[in-house]
Amino acid sequence: MNDIKVSLPDGSQRALPQGSTIFDLAASIGAGLAKAAIAGKIDGSLVDLNTLLTDGAKVEIVTEKSPEALTIIRHSTSHLMAQAVKALFPQAKVTIGPAIETGFYYDFDVDHPFTPEDLEKIEEKMRELAKADLKIERRELSGADAIALFRGMGEDYKVELIEDLGAETVSLYSQGDFVDLCRGPHLPKTSFIKAFKLTSIAGAYWRGDEKRAMLQRVYGTAFADKKELDAYLARIEEAKKRDHRKLGRELDLFSFNDEVGAGLVIWHPKGAMLRTILEDFERKEHLKRGYDIVLGPQILKTELWQRSGHYENYRENMYFTTVDEQSYGVKPMNCLAHMMIYKSQLRSYRDLPLRYFELGTVHRHERAGVLHGLLRVRGFTQDDAHILCTPDQLDVEIKGVLAFVADVMRIFGFEYEMELSTRPEKSIGSDDAWELATSALLSALKDSGRPFEINEGDGAFYGPKIDIKLRDALDRRWQCATIQCDFTLPERFDLTYVDADGEKKRPVMVHRVILGAIERFIGVLIEHHAGNFPTWLAPVQAIIVTVTDNQIPYAQRAFDTLRAAGVRVQKDFRNEKLGFKIREAQLQKIPYMLVVGDKEVESGLLAPRYRDGKNLEGMTPDQFVSFIETEVKSFH
């Protein structure tokens, strides 16, 4: 029998007997690699360790240090958790259990709602099953046989999944007496699962449909070793302290109320001030870069949403109303009004580019199960802009937005990552238009010199996009800025300009946001800073605190001076002990406490104290105003 030859990542080739697996290849290279191997890649596709090799294949060994390892470990751990649940709660029905960015989850249909005590029992059973060193084995069955198998097991959700797949064959994975429907790949044995923790319980509708069964979702995480797990759990504990919903209540920034409606934010004075600071910053930065500020209506006729493609491709996320027997759509995006502004007069190539900016409030029908504080709401305001330009100007405009993003992220102190999202299955427009748009974004990304990833099939329905994900203080990623290139909507709305040759031409439209949803960005800011906003962003920059009632007249004059100069200042003249008032101000995370006692009254000074307890030298009210102005300017 002839040997087969496979290629390794370094370009070398290796000969192996026919019937050899990924593991055999690893063992032929070295015992250490064989011990470290957890999976493999054949011609770029992830596969199990026991997958047979074929002649001419390009092969890579996946170890715990490989970029793909964590997903495999977490997916295998989700199966281990499902096996443990079935062992402890035999009547539970299993649904789906994917790996996610922070770990994994699995959804179960159970009569008995899980408790924290149940999680401890499940975790203990998982450890027992991991130590049992069960083989994780893959097999393929026909769709019909797989349906019969799961129907016999009473696993109705698996039957539904297979029926919807409509595939001739499906793959199953088994470990001990547990069988699951899965594409894989997985670890070779349960003993490879070493460091995991179940973290929380939540409700989740089957397939995200509020009309379907409510399931119990168990979240967990897993890592290659305990050190990584412990570091992650420490970050989780810190994240709980920084939770923007908790801090939003404590700092009196915003609230939600069931009487008002789910996903609708009520901004309190300090929260509204924080928004105003951000919005004023946005207007200033956009005007500096040649944007015109515009405003569109909240509702537009449904016919417009039909023409744009939103009605066909996005209506499940929209709200509709009827006025004077005319159907209207509540806007989920701002682009339609901006195109109407463009169409309001004849445009010349000399007018372009036109950059329309709107702090546009939009409403989207998000499912109740995905709403999450400020991070996922139904009503929000975007720093939305649309650039209409000639095809020749497109490269410069995209690069201009990328530079804008870089400037703003620097001001806020965020590192960020970028990815190019390409055409989704549900989309409008010609292949040529999508190719032109994708090429334009790709070229600008390459010229930027920054690394980026390709996210296949996740573009907007009208065009590809660059997504910018910022990294916060806990190294979490948040989607904020996006740049979308659109040749399709200008065609649908017959947008034109007169070129130098006197002919009518079609402009290109760039949809873009910088911070994204203001609500979401504020949620990220709260957690990033743990509520300790830098002075330029703090809704309250300073508070004047008196020692006794004797200092109130002087303290009031100082307060008036600071407020007239634009310092966001509060006062605490209550008849309380100074230490109590200082602690309250620290809990409110106010950057500066200005103490006024008899000494300060006599000298005409204020005694500034930073929120971390550090005391500064005495200053007159005017000197403190200059001090704050200098600090604020340093952030820009």
Q: Which residues are catalytic?
A: 335, 364, 382, 384, 386, 465, 511
Cα 486 to Cα 427: distance, rounded to the nearest angstrom: 12
Q: Give every CB contact of residue 314 below 8 A, 6+ residues apart in sequence.
A: 332, 461
Assess contact for 429 and 462: CB atoms under 8 A. yes
Cα 150 to Cα 155: distance, rounded to the nearest angstrom: 5
Distances (CA, A) of 265 to 58, 269, 421, 532, 598: 53, 13, 30, 21, 44
How far is C-alpha 351 from the chain's CA centre?
37
Assess contact for 265 and 374: CB atoms under 8 A. yes
Residue carrying the six token digits 């040529």: 432
Cα 60 to Cα 10: distance, rounded to the nearest angstrom: 10
Intra-chain end-to-end CA distance of the chain, in Å: 71
Partnered with residue 595 across adjacent β-strands are 545, 607
Distances (CA, A) of 587 to 102, 251, 288, 394, 535: 30, 8, 37, 49, 16
Assess contact for 595 and 547: CB atoms under 8 A. yes
Assess contact for 380 and 362: CB atoms under 8 A. yes
Beta strand pairing call for 415-421 and 4-7: unpaired
Cis peptide before 185 (omega within 30 of 0): yes
Partnered with residue 202 across adjacent β-strands are 217
Listed residue (385, 392, 488, 395) closest to 441, CA to CA:
395
Assess contact for 521 and 374: CB atoms under 8 A. no
Within 10 Å of residue 125's Cβ, how many Cβ atoms?
Answer: 18
Q: Give every CB contact of residue 531 below 8 A, 6+ residues apart in sequence.
A: 242, 247, 250, 251, 589
Cα 184 to Cα 38: distance, rounded to the nearest angstrom: 12
Distances (CA, A) of 317 to 35, 88, 379, 625: 49, 39, 12, 47
Q: Is the dihedral of CA 434, 435, 440, 443 positive or negative?
A: positive
- How many Cα atoms occupy the beta-carbon half-sphere of 118 within 13 Å? 18
- Which contiguous run of DSSP H or E holds residue 587? helix 578-587
Listed residue (421, 384, 394, 605) closest to 515, CA to CA:
384
Assess contact for 452 and 445: CB atoms under 8 A. yes
Beta strand pairing call for 379-389 and 354-363: antiparallel
At 401 the three-state DSSP class reads: helix
Q: What are phi and psi of 574, to 5 degrees?
A: -65, 155
